[in-house]
């Protein structure tokens, strides 16, 4: 009976440790819909927001070092993101994006890093045969 009790206690402790470790390291992002439902997270806290870059929303106000774009999902809600830096090669309008940064008191999201998402059929430009892909009609 003691052996069973010790085994059960060890199993419960291991499950608790695994749950805590996985919860702390969960790598999730907020979508516009989730932010509209729950409000913005703590001001100044690093978070990830993600969705698609809205076509026609990418602008370079001011001196051009900052880019501003809108992140959308399948809801009417949107997130306006500003980013200063070099965007990834795969970053473009209509593509998936995850932005890492924080919200300010006015609800503006400032990204310090952008991650561009691609589908399972991604192939680097250098490996694509000539005459294929979205740029084929321009040549």
Residue 47 sits at φ, ψ, to 5 deg, of -140, 170
Distance between CA atoms of 7 and 33, rounded to whole angstroms? 44
> What's the pTM?
0.67
Domain boundaries, the chain: 25-119
The pLDDT value recorded for residue 55 is 93
25-63, pLDDT tens digit by residue?
566 788 889 888 888 888 888 889 999 999 999 999 878
pLDDT(83) > 90: yes
Class of domain 25-119: mainly beta
95-134, pLDDT tens digit by residue?
889 999 999 888 889 999 999 876 666 666 666 565 555 5
């Amino acid at each position: 009976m003691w052996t069973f009790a010790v085994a059960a206690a060890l199993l419960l402790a291991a499950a608790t440790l695994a749950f805590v470790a996985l919860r702390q390291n969960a790598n999730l992002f907020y979508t516009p819909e989730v932010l509209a439902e729950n409000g913005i997270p703590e001001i100044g806290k690093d978070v990830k927001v993600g969705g698609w870059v809205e076509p026609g929303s990418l602008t370079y106000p001011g001196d051009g070092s900052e880019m501003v774009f809108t992140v959308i999902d399948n809801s009417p809600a949107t997130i306006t993101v500003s980013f200063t830096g070099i965007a990834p090669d795969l970053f473009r309008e209509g593509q998936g994006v995850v932005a890492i940064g924080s919200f300010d008191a006015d609800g503006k999201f400032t990204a310090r890093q952008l991650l561009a998402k691609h589908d399972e059929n991604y192939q680097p430009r250098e490996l694509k045969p000539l005459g294929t892909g979205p740029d084929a009609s321009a040549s």
